[in-house]
Structure 1
C-alpha cells in the first residue's frame, strides 16, 4: 500500500514500481509544453529523475531530441504539436495526470503575437487538458504580471492567468523573476556582449534574479504536493540588484571591462521599433525596452520559495559557474573572492 498514491482531485491511483529514481516509475505521466526552452529542460530533467514518464510536446524534433537522455528508456516521449491545432494538443495530454505549461516568448513575430501565445495558447492547452480529465495544471507566468502593466508582455501573462483560472480554478501558477543558468538570456548576454551592451534608465532598474534550477525545483515540489492546488507562487532571488550592480559582479568574475552604454528610453524605444519592423526575427522590441525600465515588485503577502521549503541560491555565490567561460585563458583559473568588488555597495535586501 505504501507504493500507492491517490490523486485527490480525480481519485486516480498512481502505482510506484522499483526502488526509486529515473530507472523506475512513480506512476505519473506529465506533459510539458515549452520543454525545449531554457526552463523547460531543467523541469523535464527534474521530473524524469523522479521516475515520471514525461511527454515532451514540441514543434521541432531536433530541439527535443537532447531531452531523451534525461530519462531512462521509454521515459521521455516526444510528440509534435501546433499551438493552433487542438487535436494535436489533446493527443499530447490525453494520457497525463499533470500538465505543465512553460510556453512563452519575449518578443512578437509575424506568426505569433503575445496574445496568441500567452492567452489563446493557454486557453487551448487548458481546454484540451480539461477535456482529457487531467487532474493537475501548472502554469508558468512572470513576476510583475498585471493587466494594468505598460508592458504588453506582462499584460498578456496576466490575461493568460485569468483565462486559466476560469477553466482550471485549481491550477497552480508560478511567477518567476528573470532567471540565470546555462544558456540563459541574462548572464550569457552580459558576458558575450563585451562592449556592445546597452541599458536604459541609467542601469538603475531593480531586479530580483533567480536560479533556473531553483524554479525547476519549486515546480518539482508543486508536482508532488496537492496542497499547492489553486495557489500562486512568486519566485525570486534573495536580493535585489540594479543592472549596474549585476554588471559590476560580472566584471569581477569575468575579469573583463564589459563597458555599457546608457541610452535615453525614448530613443531606445524608437530604435527598437525600427528594428522590430525588419523582415527577420528581432529580439529587441519596444516592449522589451519598457520592461527594462520596470522594477521587480513582488506582491505583498504572496507565497514564495519559503512556502515550498526552498532556500533560493544567491547570484553572487552561483554566477562564477556561468561567467568563468568568458575569461581569457590567462586568468581562467584564478579564484573569485566573493565580496572583494563593489557589488556589495547598495545591495537591496528583501524584507518579508
Structure 2
C-alpha cells in the first residue's frame, strides 16, 4: 500500500545525489512522485531518504556510460530526468562521454522504454562555437537528446546558488584565507544567478505539464550581475574586506594549467574559456516564452537566501555584528 500522498507515478532521476539533484528529488517527492535515484554509488545516497515518505525514494546503481544499467534504471518509469554533468574531466569521465554519450544513452533508453516525459539539464551561455569543451559537449548533448527523444525538454540554468553550491561557497572560503580575490577576465562576465530551489521547481513544473514539448528553457534569477559584482556581494555578506585583483584571461589560463593538476582542480583552462561568455537569459527566449516564469515559477533573489548559509564565513559566524562600524 502506497504512503499517504504518494502516487504510482515513477520518475527516474540520474544524478539525484548531487547538489541540484537533492532539491529536485525533494520537489518531486512533495508532488507525490515515486522517485528512483539512479547513481553510481547508491550506498552514498542515504541522505535523500528523509526527503520523502517511507519507501518513496529508492536509489539504484547506474552509470550513464553503461547502457544496461541505464536501461534497467528507466524501466517502468513515467518520467526521466538527467542531471548528470561534470565540471572537469577525470580518468574515463570525459566531457564527451558524459555530456554527449551519457545524455544520448539516457534519451535512447527512455524512448525505448515508453517514457512520457524526459528532462535534460544543460547550461546557459553554451555555444557550439565556444573554445570550451564543456560548452561544446553540452550543446552536442542537447542535440543527441532531441534526436533520440524529440519531445524532451531542455533546461538551461545560469550559475546556480544554494546552501551547498560550489560557486559562492568556494569564493567565500577563499576570502577567509586570502587577502585578494581574482577577477578572471577583469570580472566583466555577466551571470543571472538562480536559486537551486527554483531550478527544482522548474523541473517539477515540466513533469506537471507546464512546458512545451521539445522546448529549450533558459533559467535565470531576477538580477543580472557581473563577476565583480558577485565577488563584492560575497564580501559584503561575509563581512570581509579583500582586494579584488583583475586577472586577464591569458594569465588566468596559464595559472589554470597548474591548478587543474590538483585532485580536485580549483580552476581549469576550460573553465577560463567558459568565463569568456556571459550566462544570461536571452531576449529571444523571453520573447518566445521559454523562461522560468513561463513554467509558473517565480525567481528568488539572492538576498533572501545567500546570507542564511554564507554567514558561516564571517569572522564570528552567526554572532558577527554586521552593523558594527
Deviations 1:18-58 (A, max 9, x none): 8xxx7422331000001111100100111111221100011
Task: Report what 1:265 is aligned to.
Answer: 249
Deviations 1:112-164 (A, max 9, x none): 11111100001111111112111110000000122112221111111111011
Task: Report what 1:212 is aligned to.
Answer: 196
CA RMSD of the aligned region, Å?
2.1
Matched-pair contact (CA < 8 Å) for 1:204–1:243: yes
Alpha-carbon separation, structure 2, partners of 1:171 and 1:299? 21
- Mapping of 1:1-352 within 5 angstroms? 23-194=4-175, 195=178, 197-225=181-209, 227-277=211-261, 280-302=263-285, 303-329=290-316, 332=319, 334=321
Tell which has more relative contact order, 1 or 2 (C-alpha 8 A, sep 6+): 2
Task: Report what 1:3 is aligned to.
Answer: none
Alpha-carbon separation, structure 1, partners of 2:198 and 2:188? 26
Report how far residue 281 of structure 1 moved: 4.2
Secondary structure of the structure 2 residue equivalent to 1:225: coil
Between structures 1 and 2, the one with greater helix share:
2
Report how far residue 277 of structure 1 moved: 4.4
Give the greater-gyration-radius structure (CA).
1
Deviates most, 90-99 or 269-278? 269-278
Q: What TM-score comes out, normalization by structure 1 length?
A: 0.84
Deviating above 6 A after TM superposition, structure 1's stretches of 4 or more consecutive aligned residues are: none
Secondary structure of the structure 2 residue equivalent to 1:239: coil
Secondary structure of the structure 2 residue equivalent to 1:228: coil
Task: Report what 1:349 is aligned to.
Answer: none
Matched-pair contact (CA < 8 Å) for 1:97–1:136: yes
Matched-pair contact (CA < 8 Å) for 1:191–1:258: no
Report how far residue 260 of structure 1 moved: 3.5
Alpha-carbon separation, structure 1, partners of 2:266 and 2:318? 32
Deviations 1:225-261 (A, max 9, x none): 1653211110001111112111222222211114333
Matched-pair contact (CA < 8 Å) for 1:109–1:281: no
* Alpha-carbon spacing, 1:239–1:59, altered in 2? closer, same or farther (3 Å): same
Matched-pair contact (CA < 8 Å) for 2:64–2:103: no
Task: Report what 1:343 is aligned to.
Answer: none
Secondary structure of the structure 2 residue equivalent to 1:125: helix
Alpha-carbon separation, structure 2, partners of 1:297 and 1:50? 30
* Alpha-carbon spacing, 1:136–1:320, altered in 2? closer, same or farther (3 Å): same
Alpha-carbon separation, structure 2, partners of 1:324 and 1:227? 36
Secondary structure of the structure 2 residue equivalent to 1:107: coil
Secondary structure of the structure 2 residue equivalent to 1:312: coil
Alpha-carbon separation, structure 2, partners of 1:124 and 1:50? 27
Deviates most, 56-65 or 208-217? 56-65
Matched-pair contact (CA < 8 Å) for 1:43–1:219: yes
Secondary structure of the structure 2 residue equivalent to 1:46: helix
Alpha-carbon separation, structure 2, partners of 1:103 and 1:37? 9
Task: Report what 1:341 is aligned to.
Answer: none
Deviates most, 320-329 or 178-187? 320-329
Deviates most, 70-79 or 58-67? 58-67
Where does structure 1 lack aligned partners over 5 or more consecutive residues? 1-16, 338-352
Report how far residue 62 of structure 1 moved: 3.5
Where does structure 2 lack aligned partners over 5 or more consecutive residues? none
